[in-house]
A and B are shown apart, each in its own frame.
Chain A
Amino acid sequence: MLALAAGMPPALAHAGAHPPAARGADSPAAVPQVQPPKQDFVANPAGSYRLPVLQQAANGWVLDGSRVPRRLSRYTHGTVTLLSFVYTYCSDPIGCPLAYATMADLKSRVLADASLHGKVRFVSLSFDPTNDTPDAMRLYGAEHAKSTALPWHFLTTYSPRFLLPILDGYGQDVEVELDAKGAPTRARTHMLKLFLIDPGGGVREIYSAAFLHPEVMFNDIKTLVMEAPAPARQARP
């Protein structure tokens, strides 16, 4: 189970090979079956609608695979960006694995559309800086992290202190699950959210599990690419 299974991140695909009996309480979970929402409608054609600015993209200090600290705005401004908060230990079928599978699907669609080349990037940002080190995120990203065809950045932060302002700024709610003794575990309770950001840093759409229709999301990406360039917005400090 080392190969990717239906767009699953390799960390989870590999973890699924461990028999349950061998796993301790803190072991990675089995490969989940993702459950995308049903779509019983035809998506609105790209460019036929406008996405309002819902909020501004928050900023903060992040780490990429090189461990050099960078401002998050480096990865959310300048081009259309799809940002997802994840953590590598997540096994919720309608959580991070669904986000990963959806983004992998979208990547295929973007690469198949020449008009979008060089104009779209993806970002997966961990909300578990304790365990999701830059190396762990690089492993999680696998071939996607290395791809230059569509830049997909797998980021983390130094510590919760650096993560919290970013989460608050985006309105991403997440909690750490405690064990029976009240000690933090690796599991997180969070609402799946993906943020579509325009080149100026405006968040133009927010997707949750019930809203994660790849056809719609692709058309949203294309709609933003088709927009006339917006006035440059100053990134949040």
Chain B
Amino acid sequence: MSKTFHRRTLAIAAAALFAAAAPLGTVHADETCNSPYTARLIKGQERYLHVWTLGVKGMGDGSDKLVTIDVDPKSKQYGKVIHTMSVGGRGEAHHMGFTDDRKYLWAGRLDDNKIFVFDVGTDPTQPKLVRTINDFVAKSGYVGPHTFYAMPGRMLVQALSNKKDHGGVTGIAVYNNQGEYVGKHDMPVNNAAIGGGDGYGYDIGINPEKNVMLTSSFTGWTNYMMDLGTLVKDANAMKNFGNTMAIWDAKTLQPKKVFNVPGAPLEIRWSLKEGQNWAVTATALTSKIWLIKQDAKGEWQAKDVATIGDPAKIPLPVDISITADGKGLWVNTFMDGKTRYFDMTDPENPKQTYEMVAGKQVNMVSQSWDGKRVYLTTSLLGNWDKKGADDEQFLRIYDWDGKELKQKLDIDFYKLKLGRAHHMKFSGEAPTRSASIGAASTLLASGR
């Protein structure tokens, strides 16, 4: 499919959708989009990057896999793929999340709903698959485990869909860290007391200091598993995208208020700067940055504060990454392959100050805690990624000096027969200055 056709069809569909549109803290994490409850902060240079990768039929082993890359510039293996863990099959690998102790990575698949638990804490150079959770649909009734968000001793799993009709009405499942199902919380639907709700979900963001949790909204299995070219021509299907965010009591996991945020608000990022309790999201179909913060009366409000690119061209904002000081926001736009930097010094008036074409398509963006290194990958969804020569699949790492991105590394995932590069998480140095209690006991007994 040509780029022009791709954009034009999306423009038509997005116009139809828009016309029909309804109505943290003091705990810091190294990579700014982790849950505020995540421990074992990486101080300084990140050592390894784990990339959750979609398998491609006929390419390599064709399996979804966790790819680990050495990203320490001082390492002799810098830029090398040092480990891959194939999990078998292709189930639409998508996103991951650390447990609160950072020892395990939970990685989900949106089609077959499997959740893979990797031990990356014992030795991040050799992740091990320790558990596969197969009861997500049976227990919760939800489909598409998307966001994995740690709370103490448990994992919140935001789903995208449901088993009844594969539409977008969904909820959040809760598992304990041992992989046992605890319970579920439906997204608000038509709840007049709190402002309505369309029942859709996507991302989670908690601010512990304020005891609030934000959620956003995307689309259901029928849409996200459909070929994008087919989807955008289906006016009825294009109506089935989320147009809301909700704010919840983070303790009781009860929704308190629904905001009207048209155009599929996706990733949520709280400012991590102490005393600044606001969050942002970007809307995929309407290309806006929305700000969620309390007004002068303490009431939470959501408002549109900036435009991303030219909405008429449907750049399709996807992943975002906020700087640790809350002053900057990276926003990727999938269709034009651009990564954009917004000055967030005044979150009520973000200003784009930089952009760069990273490739033919770009999705995920991660950054080091000091903001000096930026990581980009490409895959959005298996059936939404571009086709032919435009279907580049890479990991690119850049140095950022505040003015310009300078590419340091380029790993072609197709050339290496790995698959589609998607979600990224950092690991620090393998533990050499600590030992498990059992191992330490052995050391003591041996006289060391």
Binding site for B on A (CB under 8 A): 35, 37-41, 43-44, 48-49, 52-55, 127, 130, 159-161, 163-164, 167, 171, 173-178, 181-184, 189, 191, 193, 195, 203, 206-211, 216
Contact = CB atoms under 8 A, between A and B. Distances in A.
Interface residues of B, number: 46
A168 B441 CA distance: 16
17 contacts: A40-B210, A49-B251, A130-B441, A173-B121, A178-B443, A181-B448, A182-B448, A184-B444, A191-B39, A193-B152, A193-B153, A206-B154, A208-B152, A210-B27, A210-B37, A211-B37, A211-B208
A163 B448 CA distance: 21
Contacts of A49: 251-252, 254
B251 A37 contact: no
B152 A176 contact: no
Given A173-B121, A184-B448, 9 more contacts: A37-B26, A49-B251, A160-B438, A163-B437, A164-B438, A175-B440, A193-B152, A206-B152, A208-B152
Contacts of A127: 437
Contacts of B103: 173
Interface stretch (B49-57, B139-147, B172-180, B301-309): B172-180
A183 B25 contact: no
Contacts of B182: 52-54
Contact of B441 (A54, A160, A182, A203): A160
The 8 closest A-B pairs by CB, nearest first: A206-B153, A176-B440, A175-B434, A41-B211, A160-B441, A208-B152, A184-B440, A206-B152
Query: Which of A161, A177, A210: most chain B Cβ within 10 A?
Result: A210
Contacts of A189: 434
A178 B444 CA distance: 11
A117 B378 CA distance: 59
Contacts of A206: 152-154
Contacts of B151: 211
A55 B441 contact: no
A160 B277 CA distance: 43
Interface of B: 25-27, 36-37, 39-40, 100-101, 103, 121, 151-154, 174, 176-178, 180, 182-183, 208-212, 249, 251-252, 254, 277, 431-441, 443-444, 448
Contact of B178 (A44, A55, A159): A55
B27 A178 contact: no
B246 to A, nearest CB: 17
A160 B441 CA distance: 7
B435 A171 contact: no
A40 B277 contact: yes
Nearest to B436: A175
A38 B39 CA distance: 17
B183 to A, nearest CB: 5
A130 B27 CA distance: 32
Query: Which of A53, A174, A183, A184: most chain B Cβ within 10 A?
Result: A184
Contacts of B252: 44, 48-49
Contact of A174 (B154, B277, B437): B437
B174 A52 contact: yes
A183 B101 CA distance: 24
